[in-house]
Amino acid sequence: MKRLGITCIGAVLLMAGCKMGPDYHRPDVAAPSGWRTPVVTSDSFANTPWWAFYRDPVLTNLITVALTNNFDLRIAASRIEEAQGGYRAQRSYLLPSVNGSADWVRGRVGDLPPAPGVTSGQFDVFGMLSYEVDLWGRLRRLTEAARAQYLASEEGRRAVTVSLVANVAASYFTLRALDRQLEIAHDTYASRTNLLALTQIKFDGGNGIVSELDVRQSETQVYTAQSAIANLERSVSVAENALTFLLGLPPAPVTRGGTLEAQWQPPEIPAGLPADLLQRRPDLRAAEQQLIAANANIGAARAAYFPTVSLTAALGAQSVELEDLFSGGVSRAWKFAPQVTAPIFNAGRIRAGVQVAEARQKAALATYQQAIANAFREVDDALVSITKLREELVADDGNVASERRRLELSQLRYDGGVASYSDLLDAQRFLFTAELTAVQTRNSLLAATVQLYKALGGGWEVPPR
């Protein structure tokens, strides 16, 4: 009998090593061999921590504040705690649970002849152990899924950090671009106001050199600059509010650092190899963990087809008097109750559960593949943008220089009576537009660099203290 019990226990332990459902294998990914834009692939500047990549001290301080106060990051941290608690709770089902109970029952048997009624009481104290033998790996698959969900939440927080760092940097650069455009608008407004005053003086002189049409055209230019100032001031306030929201602070003015032109740009574009993204980007790792969880849930669903073996044991003491529980006058009691529960008929509920788990695994696989394809697209878009925006900025700077010289020549020709007043106003207008466009292009170039840094998965490291 003893040998039979040992054999049964060994068989149970051997069967408990089985796990239903498919084991996870990373799906094949159609990764490109290189990027469409010629870049340095020996390294990736995503390996550069953000406090070394963004070299404006004011910007790095803003990012530090955001990493402490941002609402999305705090929400992501709470989700990690939630997923960690869920994983620990699920893992606990792999071990036996022990509970204790104590009760006191007192009652009276009715007076029935020939015996008189008797009043009695009983104290019970029991320790109970319960354990589900995980024959088919249902509990282990559920634990595997819970662990993957926990790891996905960790990667999710890193993904939020990457986006937060990029958003703070892009918002800061946009704010500095608006500041520069506002300076240009104020300078343009001042020069146009001076020109209007001179034109008005000439018109009031009544010598016929300047007509009222010239005065009205000059006024239009002044009003245009004044309108641009108001619009840019509004945009600056909105940009400051957007940035303070990312910082987790109430709306307030934002401290400025280096000018837009002084912001660092990498001389080369080290983007690394496309395959590096699978290991670098936290959002891809999070999507893979979600796929692992969905894959594990298939096994848990399939295990429901098979019997469940539960072991229950109780050991305790009984006594009619409370003090006897702790003395020799006590009755010992125990119970051992193995139980096997097997599904017989459930109207297809188990099959439907497996179907749901398999469908979710297919959706998680498609989501993972979509995230990878989107990552490649984002990097390639950013690389193309940086290359072409650099070319565009060279052209814009050249255009500004040409328009500035054009204005100087138009002023000389107008003063000499060779050019018309309209030629002078056109030169002013085109210079204003060219300067604003150059600033916007420079901001777009900085934004593209930020986007590439983010697309490569850089920026989630914690700064040293």
The residue ranges of every structural domain in the chain are: 17-105+118-455
Q: Are 281 and 201 in contact (CB under 8 A)?
A: no
Summarize pLDDT for 34-65 with one digit per residue, the tens. 888 888 777 888 888 999 999 999 999 999 99
Q: How far apart are CA 62 and CA 169, in angstroms?
A: 9
Q: Which residue has the higher pLDDT, 3 or 459?
A: 459
Q: What pLDDT, on a 0 to 100 scale, did the predictor assign at position 386?
A: 94
| Span of 126-140, 146-160, 312-326 with lowest mean pLDDT | 312-326
For residues 26 and 208, which has the higher predicted lDDT (pLDDT)? Answer: 26
Q: Is pLDDT above 60 for 323?
A: no
Structure-block tokens of residue 354: 């497996």
Q: Which of 161 and 461 is assigned the larger pLDDT?
A: 161
On average, the pLDDT of the chain sits at: 87
Q: What is the pLDDT of residues 87-117, one digit of tens each?
A: 999 999 888 888 877 776 666 655 556 656 5
Q: For 17-105+118-455, CATH number?
A: 1.20.1600.10
392-to-385, 387, 444 alpha-carbon distances in Å: 10, 9, 10
Give per-residue pLDDT as tens, 249-296: 999 999 999 999 999 988 888 888 888 888 889 999 999 999 999 999
Model pTM score = 0.86
How far is the C-alpha of 368 from the C-alpha of 395, rounded, in Å?
Answer: 41
Would you say residue 4 has pLDDT above 50? no
Average of per-residue pLDDT across 406-425: 89
User: Does residue 80 surpass a pLDDT of 70?
Assistant: yes
Mean pLDDT for 332-354 is: 84
How far from 452 is each of 163, 225, 270, 273, 380, CA to CA, in Å?
Answer: 12, 35, 10, 13, 8
Of 259, 205, 39, 76, give the one whose Cα is nearest residue 152: 76
What pLDDT does 205 receive? Answer: 82
CA dihedral 449, 453, 456, 459 (to 10 degrees): -170
